[in-house]
Amino acid sequence: MLQTVTPAAQIIIAVIPIVGIVMGAVVIFFYLLWHHKQIMKQLETGVYRRTNFSIPVFCLLAGALMTGVGIVLSLLFLCVDGLSYPLLGGLIPFSIGISLLFVYTKLNPSKRHDSSAD
């Protein structure tokens, strides 16, 4: 039995992602606004402490996560569709993850000590 989609259902299906994006943008806007106000009050009262952010650690963690997710997505899309454009949905995070891991290795060169030289 062939079912047709009514125009009202098509409109609802088209509006749902738009509403989700707008609501997400509103939440992010108010988070940034309130965070900014909180930092400004802390600066005024003199209790602001700067948070430490380590770029090498971020590159290591984000690179490992994105490489893992990229491998899983690549294998999934390869099994489902074979070699096709959806495979890029896994290869792109995989390549970004590998790039972040490469940046980590360049920012933190391992200092290799030869233990037999002692």
Q: What is the pTM of this model?
A: 0.60
18-36 confidence digits (pLDDT tens)? 999 999 999 999 999 999 9
The sign of the torsion formed by the CA atoms of 11, 12, 17, 18 equals positive
Torsion of CA 12, 13, 16, 18, to 10 degrees: -100
**Tens digits of residue pLDDT in 22-74:** 999 999 999 999 999 999 999 999 999 988 989 999 999 999 999 999 999 99
Angle at 67 between CA 64 and CA 68, to 5 degrees: 85
pLDDT value of position 116: 53
Q: Which pLDDT does position 82 carry in this prediction?
A: 86
